[in-house]
């Protein structure tokens, strides 16, 4: 199974957040990755990722914010991790020997 472009970003964002739910994922993508994204898009991507088995969700503890509602927390599964690594490997291999500029580190 392959990961879509946006889905890959979502996966990576999840990896970088402790308690990942829709809002911080969205924030991270928008602010850290600098890519525009909509909350709805994030939800859809999360849904697809879960269907593909790259991500699992659970209902978290009752939060102490107003309303005390539980949030749906996501984390990357082993399969998801493997998929993300595979993507990186594939990209890096293609990037090898290219001199196109842009931000990014060439992997060794």
Report the residue from 2, 4, 16, 40 that binds another protein according to the rule CB under 8 A: 40
**Residue of 26, 28, 80, 84 that binds another protein (CB under 8 A):** 26
What is the three-class DSSP state of 73? strand
**Residue 41 in contact with another protein, rule: CB under 8 A:** yes
Residue with smaller CB distance to another protein, 6 or 43 = 43
Residue 21 contacts another protein per CB under 8 A: yes
Site for another protein contains 38 (CB under 8 A): yes
Q: Which residues contact 74 (CB under 8 A, 6 or more apart)?
A: 14, 20, 21, 25, 46, 50, 55, 56, 57
**Among 2, 4, 53, 69, interactor with another protein by CB under 8 A:** 69
- Taking CB under 8 A as the rule, does residue 22 contact another protein? yes
**Going by C-beta distance under 8 Å and a sequence separation of 6 or more, which residues neighbour residue 3?**
11, 49, 52, 54, 83, 84, 87
């Amino acid at each position: 199974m392959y990961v879509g472009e946006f889905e890959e970003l979502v996966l990576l964002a999840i990896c970088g957040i402790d308690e990942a739910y829709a809002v911080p994922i969205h924030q991270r993508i928008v602010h850290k990755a600098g890519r525009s994204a909509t909350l709805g898009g994030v939800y859809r991507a999360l849904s697809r990722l879960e269907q593909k088995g790259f991500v699992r969700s659970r209902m978290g503890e009752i939060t102490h914010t107003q309303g005390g509602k539980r949030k749906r927390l996501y984390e990357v599964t082993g399969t998801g991790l493997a998929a993300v690594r595979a993507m990186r490997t594939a990209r890096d291999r293609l990037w090898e020997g290219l001199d196109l500029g842009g931000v990014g580190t060439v992997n060794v």
